[in-house]
Amino acid sequence: MEQSPIHNLLWIEELLPVGYDCVPKNGGMAYYVDMKLVLILVERRGLYEHKGVSYPFELWNGCIFPVEKKAQNAFFLKYLFLENHPANKDWLYIPAESENFEDEVKQMMREISRGNMLLGIPVKSSELSKPEKVERAPKKPSPQKTKISKKGENAFLLSIAKKNRK
């Protein structure tokens, strides 16, 4: 059995409802409930920068709660401690270094247990099954256009034009 990439945050797993699935993802563990990605736990310390921007919290040490961008305002109004995770617009984040980390996580875990419809991102069908390979005919090379010199044609038209002037 593969060793879990998380150690200090395993207590959070116990707060998940019965019947969850988990798989390694983003250097941590991703948790699925009712075919929705509802939680990602990550424990990589010391990373404060993403795409050249520094943040006042560790980016990969805490709890990530996937919530579609259009539904995030409902969570921000109720849970002021949530942060947008810079790596993905659909992720809300609680850094493990936050002062009330355990209480904040428990509040969000209650939302998962209650089955809040706004929380989580549905599993894509491509994640469920591997698509069958469809054989396609090989592409035919497109014929190359040849450059035709217009000098001969232009000379001919000029000679006709000169004859008509005389």
Between these two residues, 28 and 151, which has the higher pLDDT value?
A: 28
**Least confident span in 1-10, 51-60, 73-82, 152-161:** 1-10
pLDDT in tens, 124-136: 765 544 444 444 4
Token reading at 89: 């617009």
Average pLDDT, the chain: 81
For the chain, list the strands marked E by DSSP. 21-25, 28-33, 36-43, 49-50, 53-54, 61-66, 83-84, 91-95, 121-122
Position 64 scores a pLDDT of 92
What's the whole-model pTM score?
0.69
Token reading at 13: 């797993």
Q: Which residues on adjacent β-strands are paired with residue 9?
A: none
